[in-house]
């Protein structure tokens, strides 16, 4: 059965098909609502049902708790309508529609930048131009219907290849392949671009970037895109890792700070060892940002990395530093959900 969904405050509406989630139907109809993982884990798609009822689907318990359901909240990537609906959601205006496609790519290079991080460069077929917004991700398509999400680390104007930052995970379906068997010239298939973690360009607000580990990748793409476009908003990057070697491209970030007077870089280490001889900032990366910006009322924040850091940044920035809810953008590394065997 199909149902009509009306988005407030825009008044735009679309129709869902049988068993189609609200997010999938909105995207099929050309409306972009915020989303990240599409598997009920990251909460980026959380929104309100103003009128009507839904089946909440299978949200992970940390992403949608019971009292939120009672308050009318749901995850649009999981929820299917049981009646016509009026929903409240922040629609994302983009400067153009970008089609989500499935494409083959060839491994151009595999470069190990630290003990457990590899930068993969994938070459696209000749004559293919892969368009995306800086900050978006792709799903690498694996055997058995599995998929793994990685953000583009390159900016969109360098579109002849795709750069992925891959951290070695114990028994990871894709990372084991990358670290053990993948070779140059191998073919990988992917789907993308995906996600709504990209730079909002309709404002002049200063930007606070907060990354942990390979959460640097989409932020690198956004920052390089900003430099290319001559965006002169003040930007500061807080990049956190356990030890200095986790900040695997800190030389590049330091060079950005030398070359661009609107950009500064604050590396933050949480578990340095004496042999690291670390003399910089220590502790939790989002706390370092709060120490420097106790008032974030007029800022935007972009955060990417492990879910605990992203959630803490969201909570603390909005509750303690006055960051408006609609000025926080995030991409949390939630675990992928594999199809049932
Ligand atoms: S929980 Fe819906 S997009 Fe992540």
Residue 62: its pLDDT value, please? 85
Q: What's the 3-state SS for the chain?
A: CCEEEEEECCCCEEEECCCCCHHHHHHHCCCCCCCCCCCCCCCCCEEEEEECCEECCCCCCCCCCHHHHHCCEEECCCCEECCCEEEECCCCCCCCCCCCEEEEEEEEEEEEEECCEEEEEEECCCCCCCCCCCCCEEEEECHHHCEEEEECCCCCCCCCEEEEEEECCCCCCCHHHHHHCCCCCCEEEEEEEECCCCCCCCCCCCEEEEEEHHHHHHHHHHHHHHHHHCCCCCEEEEEEECCHHHCCCHHHHHHHHHHCCCEEEEEEECCCCHHHCCCCEECCHHHHHHHHCCCCCCCEEEEEECHHHHHHHHHHHHHHCCCCHHHEEEEECCCCCCCCC
pLDDT in tens, 148-198: 999 999 999 998 899 999 999 888 889 999 999 999 999 999 999 999 999
Pocket test for ligand 1, best of 21, 26, 68, 75 (most atoms within 8 A of CB): 75
pLDDT digits (tens, 9 = 90+) for 130-149: 889 999 999 999 988 999 99
Q: If you average pLDDT over each of 94-103, 172-181, 302-311, which comes out highest?
A: 302-311
CA of 45 to the centre of ligand 1 (A): 5
Query: What does the pLDDT average to over 47-64?
Result: 93
For residue 23, report the distance from its CA to the centre of ligand 1, in Å.
Answer: 9
pLDDT at position 340, please? 67
| Ligand 1 lining (C-beta closer than 6 Å) | 35-38, 40-45, 63, 75, 77
Q: What percent of the chain has pLDDT over 70?
A: 98
pLDDT-derived band of residue 254, with 50, 70 and 90 as boundaries? very high
Question: pLDDT band at residue 95, thresholds of 50, 70 and 90?
Answer: low
At 96, is the pLDDT very low, low, confident or very high (cuts 50, 70, 90)?
Answer: low
Architecture of domain 3-88: Roll (3.10)
pLDDT of residue 32: 86
Distance in Å, CA 92 to ligand 1 centroid: 15
Q: Which atom of ligand 1 is nearest to the CA of 75?
A: 2
- The minimum-distance atom of ligand 1 relative to the CA of 43 is 1
Any idea where the domains of the chain sit in the sequence? Answer: 3-88, 101-194, 207-332
Is domain 207-332 classified as CATH 3.40.50.80?
Answer: yes
Q: What pLDDT, on the 0 to 100 scale, is given for residue 93?
A: 74
User: Which of 59-68, 108-117, 166-175, 329-338 has the largest mean confidence?
Assistant: 108-117
On average, the pLDDT of the chain sits at: 93
How far does the centroid of ligand 1 lie from the alpha carbon of residue 39, in Å? 6
Nearest-atom number in ligand 1 for the CA of 334 is 4
Q: How far is the CA of 310 from the centre of ligand 1 (A)?
A: 14
Measure 77 CA to ligand 1 centroid, in angstroms.
Answer: 6
Tens of pLDDT, residues 229-240: 999 999 999 999
**Range of 27-41, 172-186, 245-259 with top mean pLDDT:** 245-259
pLDDT confidence of residue 330: 94
Homologous superfamily (CATH) of 101-194 is Translation factors (2.40.30.10)
pTM for the whole structure? 0.90
- Of 42-46, 75-79, 158-162, 333-337, the poorest mean pLDDT is in 333-337
Kindly report the protein residue whose alpha carbon is nearest to atom 1 of ligand 1: 40
State in Å: Cα 118 to ligand 1 middle: 27
- Ligand 1 atom closest to the CA of 59, numbered from 1: 1
């Amino acid at each position: 059965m199909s149902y009509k969904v009306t988005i407030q405050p825009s008044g735009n509406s679309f129709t869902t098909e049988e068993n189609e989630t609200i997010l999938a139907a909105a995207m099929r109809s050309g409306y972009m609502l915020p989303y990240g993982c599409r598997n009920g884990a990251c909460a980026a798609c959380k929104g309100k049902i103003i009128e009507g009822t839904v089946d909440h689907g299978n949200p992970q318990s940390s992403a949608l708790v019971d009292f939120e359901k009672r308050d009318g909240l749901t995850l649009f990537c999981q929820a299917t309508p049981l009646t016509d609906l009026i929903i409240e959601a922040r629609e994302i205006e983009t400067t153009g529609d970008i089609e989500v496609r499935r494409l083959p790519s060839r491994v151009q290079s595999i470069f190990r930048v630290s003990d457990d991080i590899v930068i993969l460069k994938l070459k696209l077929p000749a004559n293919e131009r892969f368009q995306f917004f800086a900050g978006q991700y792709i799903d690498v398509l694996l055997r058995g219907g599995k998929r793994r999400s990685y953000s583009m680390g390159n900016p969109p104007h360098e579109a002849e290849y795709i750069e992925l930052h891959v951290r070695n995970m114990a028994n990871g379906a894709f990372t084991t392949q990358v670290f053990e068997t993948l070779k140059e010239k191998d073919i990988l298939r992917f789907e993308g671009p995906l996600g709504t973690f990209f730079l909002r360009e309709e404002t002049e607000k200063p930007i606070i970037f907060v990354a942990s580990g390979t959460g640097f990748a989409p932020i690198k793409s956004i920052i390089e895109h900003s430099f290319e476009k001559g965006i002169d908003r003040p930007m500061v990057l807080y990049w956190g890792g356990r030890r200095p070697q986790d900040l695997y491209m800190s030389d590049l970030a330091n060079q950005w700070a030398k070359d661009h007077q609107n950009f500064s870089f604050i590396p933050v280490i949480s578990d340095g060892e004496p042999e690291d001889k670390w003399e910089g900032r220590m502790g939790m990366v989002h706390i370092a940002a709060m120490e420097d910006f106790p008032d974030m009322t007029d800022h935007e924040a972009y955060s990417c990395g492990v879910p605990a850091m992203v959630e803490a940044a969201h909570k603390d920035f909005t509750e303690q530093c006055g960051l408006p809810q609609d000025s926080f953008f995030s991409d949390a590394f939630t675990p992928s959900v594999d199809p049932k065997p």
